[in-house]
Chains A and B, each alone.
Chain A
Amino acid sequence: MNPGVRKFALTAHLTLSVGWIGAVVAYLALGIAAARSQDVEIVRAAWTGMELIGWYVIVPFALTSLLTGVLMALGTKWGLFRHYWVLFSFVLTLVATIVLVLHMRDVTSLADLAQRVEGATLEALGGDLLHAGLGLVVLLVVQALNMYKPAGITRYGWRQKQ
């Protein structure tokens, strides 16, 4: 990968990754509103917002962040399986993306349900805080790994180096 392309890919990857984290924080804010508000309209609007942010911001950011991350790894000296920090970042991002896409189908169901129910059932929907909170923790761990790049070469990486 030549320096110009690498710079562009890195810029895209950073933008998409940080955008993913920011979108999850926005999703969490709506989730807190859905969980805490006593106003039926606010709860319904929050669930609609969570569904839209999820499908049209978080999922695209997740997929493109994963894709640009793999391209960056394969196109630079780091490789995808040579360093533990890259390997862990890849696995965590892959798992987070799979769980996200599977979970978004439930979010759509819940957003749909929120428009039809009220009272105790609406309150029981909560705000999807556990999934979003755990997802945010995973993303922050990946971000820290990418910034600190802790030392550690895999057995495969060592063989490649010889």
Chain B
Amino acid sequence: MMKEPAHQDAWPRGRPRWVTVFGIVALVLVAVVAVFFLRGGEHGPGRHLPGGDGLESHAPPAEHRP
């Protein structure tokens, strides 16, 4: 039996393999970051200090602003 020809307007063969690979890698990376934050991982300048306090984020250095 002959295969029915694909409809002219149909999207050709879905997405390429490299797109699927990129998507999987992106999902894995997002999952790793989500797990890190959900487990209470600290992310910021405070993590470098033994006490982790006394640091706030800053805008660009005032003395160097144009």
What is the interface of chain A, defined by CB distance below 8 A to chain B?
A: 51-52, 55-56, 84, 88, 104-106, 108-113, 121, 124-126, 150-153, 155, 158, 162
Q: Would B58 and A108 count as touching, CB distance under 8 A? A: yes
* A121 vs B49: C-alpha distance when bound (angstroms): 6
Q: Would B60 and A84 count as touching, CB distance under 8 A? A: no
Q: Would A106 and B64 count as touching, CB distance under 8 A? A: no
What total of chain B residues lie within 8 Å of the partner, measured CB to CB?
Answer: 21
* A105 vs B11: C-alpha distance when bound (angstroms): 45
Chain B contacts of A88 at CB under 8 A?
19, 22
Contact A109:B61 (CB < 8 A) given known A121-B50, A124-B49, A125-B48: no
* A108 vs B65: C-alpha distance when bound (angstroms): 13
Q: Would A150 and B16 count as touching, CB distance under 8 A? A: yes
B2 at the A/B interface (Cβ < 8 Å)?
no
Contacting A at CB under 8 A, from B1-59, are 9, 11-12, 15-16, 18-19, 22, 44-45, 48-50, 55-59
Chain A contacts of B55 at CB under 8 A?
109, 113
* A121 vs B11: C-alpha distance when bound (angstroms): 58
Q: Would A158 and B11 count as touching, CB distance under 8 A? A: yes
Q: Would A84 and B16 count as touching, CB distance under 8 A? A: yes
Q: Would A106 and B16 count as touching, CB distance under 8 A? A: no
Q: Which of B11, B18, B44, B50 lies in contact with A150, CB distance below 8 A?
A: B18
Contact A113:B45 (CB < 8 A) given known A108-B57, A108-B59: yes
Chain B contacts of A52 at CB under 8 A?
61, 64
Chain B contacts of A112 at CB under 8 A?
58, 61
Q: How far is the CB of B31 from chain A (nearest CB, A)?
A: 15
Q: How far is the CB of A48 from chain B (nearest CB, A)?
A: 9
Q: Would B61 and A108 count as touching, CB distance under 8 A? A: yes
Q: Which of A55, A121, A150 lies in contact with B61, CB distance below 8 A?
A: A55
Q: Would A110 and B48 count as touching, CB distance under 8 A? A: yes
Chain B contacts of A124 at CB under 8 A?
48-50
Q: Could you name 10 residue pairs across A and B whose Cβ atoms are closer than 8 Å?
A: A52-B61, A55-B64, A106-B57, A109-B56, A110-B48, A111-B61, A113-B48, A125-B48, A152-B18, A162-B9
